[in-house]
Structure 1
Amino acid sequence: MKGLIIAYTEKFMHSLLNTLPESLIISNRYYYLPSFGNILYLEHLSEQDMDCIYISDEVNDQLKDISTIVEALASWFYVLKENGYLVISKTSNLTAQHIQQFLSDFAELSEFDEQNVPYYMVKKRIALPTKDVLHETAIKLCEQGDIDRAEMVLFKLYMLYPRFPFCYLLQANIWLQTKGGDYANVLWQRALRHTHCSQNLIFYALHLLRINNYHLGFQQRKDCLFKQDYFPSRSPIIPNMLDKRLCGAVEKLKQKTLLVWSEFGLGDEIMFGQLAYYLKHHCHVAKLIFMVQKPIKTLFETHPDIDLVLDASLMNETSFPDYDYWVYPHDLLAHVSEPFNLLPKRYPYFFAKHENKAKFSALMQSDKIKIGFVFRGNPSHENDKARSVHNVALIEPLLQFSEQIQWYCIQKEINQQERTLFDKYSIPYLGQYFDCMADTAGAVAQLDYLVSVDTSVIHLAGSLGIKGFVLVPFYTDWRWGYQGDENLWYPTIKVLRQRFDFNWTPVFERLKVELHEIIANRYNEEIV
C-alpha cells in the first residue's frame, strides 16, 4: 500500500492523521518530490501507482483556473489505483462541485467536516472502461455524425487516461474542423504538460506541420527523433556519417556539396524534391546530390537543379561521392526560418521523358477530357485502411460520365472487384505497364486531370504541374493541412476532405460537382 502526500509541510498530514479513519492511514507514505514531476501532473509516476493521494490546500497557488483544476484531477486520478482514494482538503480550491462535474462517472464522493481538517474523500471505482474501448466508442460516434456525444466520450477518456495520445489526436482533428487551430494548439500544449512521451511529441510536431508552421514543426520532429537515437530512413545511415549531418542554418551550405539522404515513402521524396531549386539558387549549394529509392531514380534525373542522383539500393560505405553535409528530406525545413510559401520554387520541377510518354501515347488517344484515377494505395501502408477507397459503389457513378470523360486507371494494382467494374466501362488499365515512376510520369503527363487518394501518384502529378484532386481522410497527412481546398506544395492540386464522420460519400459528391464544372467549361454546356 502506497500513499502520496501533495503538501509542502508535515502540518497538513499531522492534522489529517488525527481525523482520517484507520483504513485511509497508509504507513508507506511519500511526500511530494520534484522527481515525481510537476505537482499537478506527476508525469514521472506510473499509471495506478498509488493507493491513496492526500491533497492539501498548499496547492491553491497552482490551481488558478478551471482548466488547471481539470488537468490536476485527471493527473492525480490517473496515478491512483482502482479502489484507491483521493483525500482532498476542503480548504483547497478544489470543491465538491468540481469533483462531481468531472469525476462523477468514475468515483464516489464523501464529505467529512472534521474539526481539525475538513476533507473530501473520492473513491475511484473498479472495472472502469479501458482507453481502447472509449477511443473506439468516440470514433463510432463520429462515424454516426454525433459529434457532441463523441466529445463527451473523449472527455471521459481524457479524465481517465490523460497520457493517451490518441485522445488528443481525435479531439484536435474535430476542433480544427469545428473551432480552429487555436483550440487545437491549447489541446496539444495540455498533452505535453501531462507527458513528454515520444508519441505526444511526434503528434504535436505533426500538428504544427498541419497548421503550416514548418520551421518549428520540423525542428520538433527532428529533435524528438534524434534524442531517441532513432533514424527512420529506409536507407540506414553509416555511423561515421553523423559528424557531417547538417546542423544550424542553411547559409553554411554556400558553395558546399549537400547529400540529401533517402527517407520514407516515394511520395515524400517526390515532394521534397521541390526544395532543390531553393537549395541550388537561394542557398547556393555548389553540388546537390539526392539519394532516392530505385523506382524514382530516373524521374529525379529530370530535375534541372539536381546535379547527381544516386540509387539508394546500390549504395554502400565505399561508394559515396565526396560531400560536405548530409540531411534527411524531412529535416531540411527545420533549418529554414523563412515561411515555406515565400521560398523561391521551380514549378513544375519534374518532367516526363519523351520515351516514357511514347510508351502510352497510342493507348491515350482521345478527344474527350482525359482523367486518370488512383483509388487505392499500397495495402501495407500504415494508414491504408483510412486513406484508400475500398467501396467500388462510390466509384461507379463517376465512371458514368463516359460520354465526356475518358477515364484511365493509374493504379499499380487492382483487385477483381475493380477489374470487373473497369471492364464494364472499358477503362484502360495503364498501371499494369508501369515499370518505374518515370513510366507513371509518361502516362500522367498526358492527362488533363488526376483524381487520387493520398499516394505517391498525386505527388507525381503535382510535381509535373498536372491538375488534380486529392481525396484525403479525416486523419489526413500533415502536408495537406487541416482545412480548405488548397495546399502549400502543389498549386494545381485541389484537396477534397473527409469530415469527422470518416465518410467518403460527401467527398465523392463534391468530386461529382467538380467534374460537372470541368465538363461545362470544356463543352460550354450545363450538365444537370
Structure 2
Amino acid sequence: MKRSIAELLAHGQALIAADLPEAVGTLLHPYLQGGTGPIPLWKLLALACRRQGKFEAVRKIQEMIVETLPGDLPARYDLADTLLTLGDFARGWEEYRFRYHLPHTTALARHIQAAPRWDGRPISGQTLLIHDEQGYGDTFQFIRLLRAAQKNSEAKILVEINHESLSLIRRAYPEFLVQPRGTLPPHFDAHCELMSLPHALGLQLSDLPLEMPYLQADPRRIEHWQERLQDLPRPWVALTWAGRPTHPNDGNRSMRLEQFASLAMVAASFLAIQKGPAAYQPAPTGMNLCRLSDEIRDFEDTAAILQIADLLISVDSSPVHLAGALGRPAWVLLPFESEWRWMTEREDTPWYPTHRLFRQSRRGDWQGVLERVAVDWVASEYSPA
C-alpha cells in the first residue's frame, strides 16, 4: 500500500536528520519514477541531493518546480542558491532577488516606498542610496561593488552601513557619503540593497575579483598590534574556529577549538581572534595560542591583526571576508555542504585571489580537513625550512 505524502515527508525528513540522505532517493523512487509526482516530494528529493553534493541533479529538480509553480518564491530562492553555487551568475542573481520572500526572512526586508529600486540603468544627476543587509561578511564581500555602481548609475552615491563596519568603509570610499544604519538619510531618488548590486550590474563570474584589495586597516591600529605582538615568534597565524551562533547553518560550519589538535605542534604563534561564547573554549594541549578576543574592540582591531598576521586559518565567518578585502591570505575551512559563494570542488575562489579552500570530503569530517591543513603547512612558505 502506498503511503501518504505526509508520511513520506516525515520519513524522508527523519532520514535527512539522521544524516542518511542517500536513503531518501530509494524511499521516493516509486512515487517519482515517472517524472511526475507531488511537488513536496520533489522538494524533499532536491534537499537530499543537495546534502550529497549532487548540484546538477538539484538544479534540474528545482528548475522543474519553478517552471511548474512560478509563484513559489521560496522555491525560486532555492534555485538561486543552486545556480550561484554552480557559477551561473546570470540566472542566479535574477532569482536571488526573492531572498526576502522566505518565512524566516520576510521581516528582514527593508521596504522603501519613497523611491524605486535601481535597475542598473544610468540615473545621471540623481542620488542612489545603497544599503547593506544580512551579515558582516556579506558587507565585506559586496562593498567592492560601490564604484561599479557609481560608474554605471552616473549618480551621487549615498551609502548606509552597519555601525561595526562604518569606519572601514568610510576610509576605503572617501568619495561617497557613508552613514550609519538608522540615520535619517538625505533625499535620494533610487535605492539598492548591497547584495542586489550584482543583479543590477549584471555581474559575471569572469568580472571577479574587481579591484583588490579594496579595504585598508587603520595605520594607528596596525602600530598598536605590532607592538602588542612583537614578542611572539613568527609566523603569526590568526585563528577563528566558529561563526555567529545565530546563523541558521552555524552547526554545520563551526568547529570547536579542541578539534585543532593536529595543528597543536605546528611551529607558529596562533592569534585567537574568535569572538563570542566560543572564544573561551579550551585549546588543544601544546598549542601556542595567544587569546586576543578580550582586547579586540571592533573590526578595526581585527583588520589590523589580519594585516600584520602571516595567515588566517578560519571557518566560514566574517574574518575570512575581511581578510580577502584586505588582500591578506587565508586558509578557509569549509563543510561538505558550504554556502553558494564558495561554489563546488574548487580549492580557490574568484572572490578572493589570496585564499585557499579546504573542504570536507564527506559530511562532518573536520578531522580530515585539518589533517590536510597540517600536511600542506609543512610544504608551505609559513613552515620553517
Q: 1:465 to 1:225 in 2, by over 3 A?
A: same
Which structure has the higher relative contact order (CA within 8 Å, separation 6+)? 2
Out of 296, 316, 326, the residue aligned to residue 165 of structure 2 is 296
Q: 1:245 to 1:231 in 2, by over 3 A?
A: farther
Matches within 5 A, 1:33-432: 107=1, 124-125=2-3, 129-138=7-16, 140-142=18-20, 149=23, 151-153=25-27, 155=29, 162-164=39-41, 165-176=43-54, 182-193=56-67, 195-196=69-70, 197-223=72-98, 225=100, 233=108, 236-240=110-114, 243-247=115-119, 250-280=120-150, 282-283=151-152, 285-304=154-173, 307-313=176-182, 315=183, 319-342=184-207, 345-365=210-230, 366-390=232-256, 392-401=257-266, 404-415=267-278, 418=281, 420-421=282-283, 425-432=287-294
- AA paired with 1:260? I
Q: 1:127 to 1:467 in 2, by over 3 A?
A: closer
2:118 touches 2:192 (CA, 8 Å); kept in 1? yes
1:251-283 Cα shifts (integer Å, max 9, x gaps): 314454321112111111111111123223x42
Q: Distance in 1 between matches of 2:202 and 2:171?
A: 28
Q: Distance in 2 between matches of 1:257 and 1:340?
A: 28
Partner SS for 2:172: coil
Which structure 2 segments of 5+ residues have no match?
Answer: none
Q: Distance in 2 between matches of 1:339 and 1:126?
A: 44
Which structure 1 segments of 5+ residues have no match?
Answer: 1-106, 108-123
Superposition RMSD in Å: 3.0
Q: Distance in 1 between matches of 2:29 and 2:262?
A: 40
Q: Distance in 2 between matches of 1:374 and 1:224?
A: 28
Deviation at 1:331, TM superposition (A): 1.2
1:278 touches 1:344 (CA, 8 Å); kept in 2? no
Q: Distance in 1 between matches of 2:32 and 2:174?
A: 49
Out of 420, 426, 435, the residue aligned to residue 297 of structure 2 is 435
2:208 touches 2:350 (CA, 8 Å); kept in 1? no
Q: Distance in 2 between matches of 1:299 and 1:155?
A: 53
1:277 touches 1:305 (CA, 8 Å); kept in 2? no
Q: 1:264 to 1:492 in 2, by over 3 A?
A: same
Deviation at 1:195, TM superposition (A): 4.3
Partner SS for 1:252: coil
Deviation at 1:414, TM superposition (A): 4.6
1:306-365 Cα shifts (integer Å, max 9, x gaps): 51211103x2xxx31232321011211112335242267210100000122233222322
Q: Distance in 2 between matches of 1:459 and 1:347?
A: 12
Q: Distance in 2 between matches of 1:175 and 1:132?
A: 22
Q: Distance in 2 between matches of 1:309 and 1:277?
A: 13
Q: Distance in 2 between matches of 1:367 and 1:211?
A: 42
Which range moved further: 508-517 or 129-138? Answer: 129-138
TM-score by structure 1 length?
0.64
1:487-528 Cα shifts (integer Å, max 9, x gaps): 221111112222343322221122112212225x6533xxxx
- AA paired with 2:254? S
Partner SS for 1:273: helix
Deviation at 1:136, TM superposition (A): 3.2
1:470 touches 1:494 (CA, 8 Å); kept in 2? yes
Q: Distance in 1 between matches of 2:304 and 2:152?
A: 31
2:46 touches 2:57 (CA, 8 Å); kept in 1? no
Larger Rg: 1
How many residue pairs match? The answer is 378
Q: Distance in 2 between matches of 1:423 and 1:157?
A: 53
Q: 1:360 to 1:139 in 2, by over 3 A?
A: same
Partner of 2:376: 514
1:206 touches 1:217 (CA, 8 Å); kept in 2? yes
Deviation at 1:127, TM superposition (A): 10
Q: 1:212 to 1:278 in 2, by over 3 A?
A: same
Q: 1:356 to 1:154 in 2, by over 3 A?
A: farther
1:175 touches 1:183 (CA, 8 Å); kept in 2? no
Partner SS for 2:374: helix
Q: Distance in 2 between matches of 1:375 and 1:157?
A: 42
Partner of 1:496: 358
2:126 touches 2:156 (CA, 8 Å); kept in 1? yes
- AA paired with 2:47? L
Q: 1:224 to 1:460 in 2, by over 3 A?
A: closer
Q: 1:303 to 1:232 in 2, by over 3 A?
A: farther
TM-score by structure 2 length?
0.86
Question: Does residue 319 of structure 2 align to residue 482 of structure 1?
Answer: no
Deviation at 1:244, TM superposition (A): 2.8
Deviation at 1:135, TM superposition (A): 2.8
Partner SS for 1:244: coil
Partner SS for 1:251: coil
